[in-house]
Amino acid sequence: MSLDPTSSLEQLGDAVARYAALLGSVDEEVLDHEVPACPGWSARDLTIHLGGVHRWAAAIVLSGSRVPDEPEPLVRGPLGAWYEGCAAALLTALRAVDPAEPTPNFSRLDEIAAFWPRRQLHETTVHAVDLAQTLGAPEDDWGVTPEVAADGIGEVVRVFFTRLTARGRRPHVASPVRLEASDTGRSWTIAPGVIPDAPPVVRHAEVPTDDVVRGTSVELYLGLWRRLPHERLEVVGDAATAMLAGPLTT
């Protein structure tokens, strides 16, 4: 099951606090270190991106209108204080709007305000992992829970697979592939759409397939986002191998 809007918002509050705490723990020169999962980006670039995304999402939620691009922010003064202001603005905006209120989003799915706490939760969670990896923090300190990870797996295979298909980068799903979480017993079976070139769809787990990707919820989640190497996962079958090698989130 997906996180409900209240849980997503609570978890988002935890995620932005975790990111801010990591940011507050670094010396100024560390902000220039490259982010391992984002070649060409420094920790400073990562933070400005994330703060800009928070502002962009808040603008959409409060206006009820499509805002095509993230704003190009002008950052003066301490970066940590700037990020905390962006995060506070996002949380305030999300609390000001009923989850059922019609609100656009980039996927054209679930166009109500409830989409945005969940999306920003995963945006922040993944980038907090990026920052933790940049700082050399041990994996146990990345702060990703199985509950959030399972919700994020569902978001990737529904929202991002649809988005990628619309952008001409359809994920490589030619036959059913099952994702299995070894720690919770949850699974997601992804299959081709009903018409050629349609987005892959999530089917009931009982759809037969010999192609499986298996790992803990967190390993599957961060593997789909390419924040953990796919060697950490048990991959069975050519279709499963092809799916992981192709477009997954970007």
Q: Which of 126-140, 165-179, 185-199 has the lowest mean pLDDT?
A: 185-199
Q: What is the mean pLDDT of residues 56-62?
A: 97
CB 94 within 8 A of CB 116: yes
CB 80 within 8 A of CB 24: yes
Average pLDDT, the chain: 95
What is d(CA 103, CA 109) in angstroms, rounded to the nearest whole number? 10
- Of the pLDDT bands very low, low, confident and very high (cuts 50, 70, 90), residue 195 is confident
Q: What is the mean pLDDT of residues 9-30?
A: 96
**Domains of the chain, start order:** 5-141 (1.20.120.450), 164-245 (3.30.1050.10)
What is d(CA 184, CA 170) in angstroms, rounded to the nearest whole number? 29
Instruction: Check whether 122 has a pLDDT greater than 70.
Output: yes
Q: Quick one: which H or E segment has residue 57?
A: helix 43-63
Instruction: Check whether 70 has a pLDDT greater than 90.
Output: no
Instruction: Check whether 1 has a pLDDT greater than 70.
Output: no
Residue 226 region by backbone torsions, left for phi larger than 0, else alpha for psi between -120 and 50, else beta: left
Torsional sign, CA 18, 20, 25, 28: positive
- Of the pLDDT bands very low, low, confident and very high (cuts 50, 70, 90), residue 2 is confident
Q: State the pLDDT at residue 205.
A: 67
Residue 204 CB: number of other CB atoms within 10 A?
8
Tokens of 234: 């048990």
Q: State the pLDDT at residue 193.
A: 84
Q: What is the mean pLDDT of residues 200-205?
A: 84
Instruction: Check whether 155 has a pLDDT greater than 70.
Output: yes
